[in-house]
Structures are given as structure tokens and as C-alpha cells.
Structure 1
Amino acid sequence: MSQSVTDLEKLRARKGAVRRSEVPANVVAGLNRGELESVNLVEFLVIDHVKLFKAVRPGLSLDDAVAKKLSRIIKDLATAGVMQRLTATGAAFHEALVGSDAREVVYQQLTEHPSDVLRSWAAYMDAADETLTFAKRLKQARKFALDSNMGVREIAWMSVRLPAAESIVSDIERLYPLANHKNHLARRFAIEVSRPCGVWCKHITELKQRPEIAEDLLTLCREDDTKYVQDSVANWLNDASKTRPDFVQELCERWLAESESPHTRRITHRALRTLRKKA
């Protein structure tokens, strides 16, 4: 049984549990019905994608044949890792609907859904679409990058990086407008999508070897006043320090010489943490 609007509003203001066993039963039920979005990784990992799809299927513009096909695929993925499940489910939606008039309708329904899992499926529909140019991928990903849910924001950059890592290197200038965006979430996305050693994804070898490719991009955010962006820039440089310590050391010294911003000082201090440990 669905919970009342009042109960749902109370649950949406909750703090996430520390352990899976501590997630309240009514929260698990709300997550599995697609009425709630997860508020942390612990909650995200307790979601049963099979139950979730069964619950949300009536609200999606899928014909019976497509719905049954997607249901089988989601069931087959039940024992897979969470990232594999998300990626494969998004790809399954794309492949089942490509060329169909219903594709854009379903895509929109997923992007606007209360469940962060469904919004993530939509992002991975884009990742699976081989016809998208790099510019189009960035445009499509923007709504996910600006999402209120932290998990969807992580999926935003992963869904671009997965199919377009080479373009991140060759067309890095396309990230500059995002790094200059008034919304700090867009700025953070521009840095995070280009990290040499991004979390939960394949490394970009060329950026590990030649991080100077991204120097202009990083410089756009060197005085950012938002901790979320500062941490991303610092983590980018800390990644690079493991393969190109010379570049990171020199860049941080130059930034400090050129800028008196406390934000730059914080970024460089965090960027050099691995090098300090080695020293």
C-alpha cells in the first residue's frame, strides 16, 4: 500500500541510515515503489530493482512486449553489481525503444521520476546511444548534473565518460562553458567528468600522462567559492600527482603565486596531500 502524502513528505526529510540493516521498513517500501529517492549510498544499495520496475511500470508508456522484455533483463541482472545493473538497464531501455515513437516519452518519464534509480536509467539510456555527439551528450547530461540527488549527479558524469572518454581529451574545450556556469553543480560536473582517475570508472590514461591538457579547465575553477567544486579540483590534481607530480607541484606553486584567494589555498593544500605523505 502506498503511503500518504503527509507520510512521504516526512520521510523525504529523513537522514539516511548508516547500515543497510538499519534502513526502516517503510523507507525500503517507499524506495521499492518509486515513491522515494535514496538519500545516501546505503539506501541506494537496498533498492530491489525488480520490485521497483514492477511498481513503476504502469506509469511508463511501455507496451506489454517491451515491458516484459525489460522485466526479464532486470531480473537477470539481480545478482550483478549496482553499477552494472544501472548501465545494463539503461542500455536495455535504449535498445528496446530505439526507433520507437515512445522512446522520448519514456525517457522524459524516467528523467522526471521521483526515484533516483529511474533518473539514472535515463542517463544510461543516453550513454548507450551511439548516435549522440560529444556536444549532445554534454547537453543531455546537464539535467542530471544539476539534479538534487547526489547519486544522480555522479551518474551524470559517468554516463558521459563511459562512451566518450576520448572526446573529453580531444574536445576538452567543450567543458569550459560548464566550468564557467553560474550553478556550482555544473562547474563540479565539468571537473569531475575529466578526472584522470575517476571513481568507479575507467581511468583516462592520456590525462594521467599529460594532465596539462586540462590546465585551462582547472584554472577556471581555481578560485571557486564552493567547497563541492574545490574538492573536485583538488581531487583531480591529487589524481594527477600520482603519475605527474612535477606538473601538480608546479601548477600549485604558480596558482599560489598568482592568486591570494583562500579558496585557491584550500584547493592546492588538498591537491598536494599525496605528495606530502610521500615526502
Structure 2
Amino acid sequence: MSTTIATARMQALNAGDVASTHLAECLAVDFATLLRAVAPALPAASIQRMHEAAGKGITQRMALTAALLRKAGQGDVQHWRAYPSDTVRGWACYLIGSDTHATLADKLQAMRPLADDPHFGVREWAWLALRSDIVAAPLEALALLHPWTQQRSPYLRRFACEALRPRGVWATHIALFKQHPEHVLPLLEVLADDPERYVQDSLGNWLNDAGKSQPDWVRAVCTRWRSTHDSVANTYIRKRALRSL
């Protein structure tokens, strides 16, 4: 069933004045109109490129926006982080992710406030914007993200898990973790009894992803956890992990 967005609401979204409240609003934002509103000094050719990209996937348009802003000398992450629009804050994520002069450790440090953003969409853009770096160096990413599992914020704990998922609907797969998910087990163990449903969902999805390539390994982990992590949280995680096995 399609979701109808009122004209005034759509205008506010495209002006960058408000954040989206659900995925349909996220996907409905007109990037060219939003760019014109929040970056009026951007060359007309850049706006035209965004118009021409209207039919492309949203992750491609996010990356293109970051490239256009950087090329125009408007790549200040702090500036775009301050906007009420979650889409614009997402552009900040992609500016961080596409910085060719920064290491993965630098990018993760810069991304941390956005990974902890109050908006669900920005938190997703935060890890998606770093996905290519993580795919290129999965073990380095794993080592860097392990300490995030100890953070007070459930958003940061979830980020550590979500960013390393072997598969993803909008994300490039991590071949190493598809074939050898055991590399990530020490990180998963830390989250095995996490009290937050937001983190539990991510961990269950991680294991479900792994089960598509290594079902016996996932079953073995869940069987062991039944005795070593006998909590309400872990029961939920195991059920989610095994839902398609």
C-alpha cells in the first residue's frame, strides 16, 4: 500500500526544514530540490546532474551528492551535520566515507556522532557510507569496532554489529564473514545478552545473514548460547537468528 505525503509536508522535506518520520518520506525526498534549497551556491550543472540521477538508487544519489558538494568546495562535514533534515545529515555521512585522505580509523572517529544520531535514517547512512572501506578491510574494521560494543549508547553498540553484517539489502557483501563468520564471534558474544531490542534485532539479523552461507555454524552457536546465555534477550536473538534455517 502506497503512502501519500501531504504537499506541505513534502515541501518541508525538500526544503531541508524537517526530518523524515518513516522510510517512505526518506525515499520521497527530491535530492535536486533539496540541494538547491540548502546549497544555493552550488553550480547549476551540479543541480542538473542530480536531476538526471533521479532514477538511480538512493545510495547512489547519496554518494553523488557528497561528490558534488566536495567538488564545489562545500564538503564541510560539520556544516551539513547541523541540519534538521536527516537526508542532509546523511550527506555528511557520505562526505566522511568518501574522504580519500582519511584512514578507516579516522572515518570511524568522525562518523561516531552520526552513528549515534537520534534519527534512524542517519544511523543507517552512517554505516552504509563506510561499507566499501569495511568490505576492503573487514578484519581491521572488526578490531576497530569491537570497543564500540562496550559503549553506553545502544546506537553505537548496534552500529558495531550492523556495519559488519555479512550481507545486506542495500550493502555490498563481506565475503570473508560470509564464509568465515567465526572471525566476528568475539564481538557477537559481547552483545549476546544486550538489553536493547534495537541491538538484539541487529545481532539476530547478523546471524541470520551468516546462516545463508554457514547454517551449521549458526545452529551450533545458538545451541551453545542456549546454555551459556540463557536470558530473555538471547532467547529472542536466537529465534531471530534461526527464523529462516
Question: Structure 2 length normalisation: TM-score?
Answer: 0.94
Structure 1 Cα separation of the partners of residues 172 and 75 of structure 2? 29
Among 8, 31, 37, the alignment partner of 1:26 is 8
Q: Report if the CA contact (8 A) 1:70-1:92 is conserved.
A: yes
Quote the sequence identity (%): 36
Among 165, 177, 195, the alignment partner of 2:147 is 177
Shift of 1:274: 1.3
Structure 1 Cα separation of the partners of residues 211 and 55 of structure 2? 36
Amino acid at match of 1:112: A
Q: Residues 64-103 of structure 1: matches in 2 within 5 Å?
A: 64=41, 66-97=42-73, 103=75
Indicate the residue corresponding to 1:273 in structure 2: 243
Amino acid at match of 2:212: K
Q: Which moved more, 1:206-215 or 1:129-138?
A: 129-138
Greater Rg over alpha carbons, structure = 1
Structure 1 Cα separation of the partners of residues 141 and 11 of structure 2? 44
Q: Report if the CA contact (8 A) 2:32-2:47 is conserved.
A: yes
Shift of 1:57: 2.2
Indicate the residue corresponding to 2:94 in structure 1: 124
Amino acid at match of 2:57: G
Amino acid at match of 1:80: K
Query: 2:121 aligned with 1:151, yes or no?
Result: yes
Shift of 1:69: 4.5
Q: Cα deviation per residue 1:252-276 (whole Å; 9 max; x = unaligned)?
A: 111121122111111111111111x
Amino acid at match of 2:59: M
Please state whether the residue corresponding to 1:189 is helix, strand or coil: helix
Among 38, 63, 67, the alignment partner of 1:56 is 38
Query: 2:233 aligned with 1:263, yes or no?
Result: yes
Indicate the residue corresponding to 2:216 in structure 1: 246
| TM-aligned CA distance change 1:103 to 1:170, over 3 Å | closer
Amino acid at match of 2:95: M
Superposition misfits of 4+ residues, deviation over 4 angstroms: none
Structure 2 Cα separation of the partners of residues 47 and 85 of structure 1? 11
Among 211, 214, 232, the alignment partner of 2:184 is 214
Indicate the residue corresponding to 1:36 in structure 2: 18
Structure 2 Cα separation of the partners of residues 198 and 180 of structure 1? 24
Indicate the residue corresponding to 1:109 in structure 2: 79
Unmatched segments (≥5 aa) in structure 2: none
Unmatched segments (≥5 aa) in structure 1: 1-17, 59-63
Q: Report if the CA contact (8 A) 1:94-1:128 is conserved.
A: no
Amino acid at match of 1:49: F
Please state whether the residue corresponding to 1:202 is helix, strand or coil: coil
Structure 2 Cα separation of the partners of residues 193 and 53 of structure 1? 27
